[in-house]
């Protein structure tokens, strides 16, 4: 059973965001249909409870060895949660695991070598859901439920066999997941639509767009394995100013664009071969109506930070290197400028 992103289908070319090729896991053996699970329904609806049982059956989660040892599905899910907690910490990943199930386990061939893998679906307290994969030998990795959903949609559109998606009750409805995450950030939203917008491989972060039924739109910035950042939510207007525009909602009056900032350099005869990927808005000086913009280009080996006046500002264009900008509190972050 395939779970993951196919590179051809999911490559994103926005501010250096790229899709990732993600691997698959092989189901283990065990539980047959009709077996009594022995797990309480708790706060799950009857439908969710039935779906969880079906999911566990498909994943063959309760093995014959487990049953021989007198274990119930409740017991092995508790073990899975403990294993997923340890796996998230080892990555590391900003996910306090509150629920998990081992979806698949078995040997895989990676770069011509046999690697033992275990794939867990995990639910985090912040609302996010992930597939987390351990490799022995090898480095653990993972990807989000939003990414697997996007892969499945791309597979269906291309006529391929659809990839696996997250199916634990807390992860299965991604509109509900997005709503929970937005509410936690202080933004009320009845989610109309959502999409996986891409990822920044260098910084281990993912971008997921959400559209609300009132016309408001948001971009959620969440951690991928290798990052321990909290969930950050921006309006589409804020996200567009950083170079990643919403596609499901109106971005509003975004003002200057990354290209317009580079055009300012050109008009002032400042040689700098920066691109969208190497142009970054560090912030604004509200009192002076000035944008603080970082550029990484071959002509400026020490980095370039430009203080670019907004329309109507009386300030003048000012250029400094990253070291001088840092003394003013503007810290360069682009890979070519970080020391």
CA atoms within 13 A on the CB side of 179: 13
List Cβ neighbours of 246 (8 Å cut-off, separation of 6 or more): 209, 211, 217, 219, 236, 239, 240
CA atoms within 13 A on the CB side of 321: 10
d(CA 17, CA 204): 10
Q: Partners of 141 in the beta sheet?
A: 133
d(CA 87, CA 91): 6
| Residue 83 pLDDT | 96
Helix axes 145-158, 174-184, angle to 10 degrees: 150
Per-position pLDDT tens, the chain of length 339: 444 433 223 322 233 322 222 222 222 222 222 333 334 444 667 777 677 777 877 778 878 888 888 988 889 899 999 999 999 999 999 999 999 999 888 888 888 889 899 999 999 999 999 999 999 998 999 999 999 999 999 999 999 999 889 999 999 999 999 999 999 999 999 999 999 999 998 889 999 999 999 999 999 999 999 999 999 999 998 888 777 889 999 887 667 788 889 999 999 999 999 998 899 988 888 888 899 999 999 999 999 999 999 888 899 999 999 999 999 989 998 988 876
pTM of the model: 0.66
Cα Dmax for the chain:
79
Distances (CA, A) of 277 to 133, 147, 202, 280, 336: 30, 22, 12, 8, 11
d(CA 233, CA 238): 10
State the DSSP string of 253-282: ---S-HHHHHHHHHHTT------GGGEEEE
List Cβ neighbours of 263 (8 Å cut-off, separation of 6 or more): none
Q: Break the chain into its structural domains and give their ranges.
A: 7-172, 258-327
| Residue 40 pLDDT | 41
Give me the count of residues in the chain.
339
| Residue 201 pLDDT | 87
State the DSSP string of 3-29: -S--HHHH---BTTB------------
d(CA 129, CA 122): 6
| Residue 254 pLDDT | 66
SS3 98: strand
SS3 328: coil
| Residue 8 pLDDT | 28
């Amino acid at each position: 059973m395939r779970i993951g992103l196919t590179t051809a289908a999911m490559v994103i070319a926005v501010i250096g965001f790229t899709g990732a090729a993600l691997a698959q896991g092989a189901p283990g053996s065990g539980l047959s249909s009709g077996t009594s699970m022995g797990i309480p329904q708790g706060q799950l609806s009857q439908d969710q409870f039935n779906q969880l049982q079906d999911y566990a059956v498909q994943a063959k989660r309760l093995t014959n060895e487990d049953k021989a040892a007198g274990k119930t599905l409740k017991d092995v899910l508790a073990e899975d949660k403990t294993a997923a907690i340890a796996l998230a910490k080892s990555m590391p990943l900003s996910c306090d695991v509150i629920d998990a199930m081992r979806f698949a386990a078995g040997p895989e061939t990676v770069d011509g070598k046999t690697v033992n893998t275990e794939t867990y679906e995990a639910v985090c307290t912040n609302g996010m859901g992930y597939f987390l994969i351990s490799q022995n030998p090898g480095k653990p990795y993972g990807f989000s439920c939003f990414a697997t959903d996007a892969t499945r949609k791309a597979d269906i559109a291309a006529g391929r066999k659809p990839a696996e998606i997250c199916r634990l009750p807390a992860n299965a409805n991604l509109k509900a997941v997005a709503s929970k995450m937005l509410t936690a950030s202080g933004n009320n939203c009845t989610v109309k639509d959502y999409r996986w917008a891409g990822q920044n491989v260098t910084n281990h972060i993912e971008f997921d767009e959400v559209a609300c039924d009132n016309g408001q739109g948001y971009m959620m910035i969440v951690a991928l394995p290798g990052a321990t950042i909290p969930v950050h939510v921006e309006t589409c207007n804020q996200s567009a100013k950083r170079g990643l525009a919403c596609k499901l909602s109106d971005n509003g009056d975004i003002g200057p664009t990354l290209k317009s900032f580079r055009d300012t350099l050109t008009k002032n005869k400042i040689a700098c071969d920066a691109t969208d990927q190497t142009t970054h808005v560090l912030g604004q000086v509200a009192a002076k109506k000035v944008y603080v913009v970082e550029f990484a280009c071959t002509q400026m080996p020490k980095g370039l930070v430009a203080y670019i006046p907004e329309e109507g500002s009386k300030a003048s264009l000012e250029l400094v290197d990253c070291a001088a900008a840092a003394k003013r509190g503007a810290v360069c972050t682009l890979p070519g400028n970080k020391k």
